[in-house]
Structure 1
Amino acid sequence: PELQALESAYAETRAQLTDAQYAAHHRDGHLGAVQVQSARSTQLLVQMQDQLIALQKRYSQQQRRCARLQEQLQTGQAAARSWALERTHLEQAAARTEETARQADERARRVEGERWAIEREAEQERQASADALRSCRALQLAEMAGVTAKLER
Structure 2
Amino acid sequence: MKCPFCGSLDTQVIDSRVSETGDAIRRRRKCLACDKRFTTFETVEMRMPQVVKSNGTRLDFNVEKIRTGFNRALHKRFVPTEFVDQAIARITANIHSLGEREIPSRSIGEMVMAELYKLDKVAYIRFASVYKSFQDVEDFRSALHEVERPAAKKPAAKKAKHV
Q: TM-score range by the shorter chain?
A: under 0.3
> Could you tell me the TM-score, scaled by structure 2's length?
0.16
Structure number having the greater helix percentage: 1
Structure number having the greater strand percentage: 2
- Which structure's CA Rg is the greater one? 1
> Could you tell me the TM-score, scaled by structure 1's length?
0.17
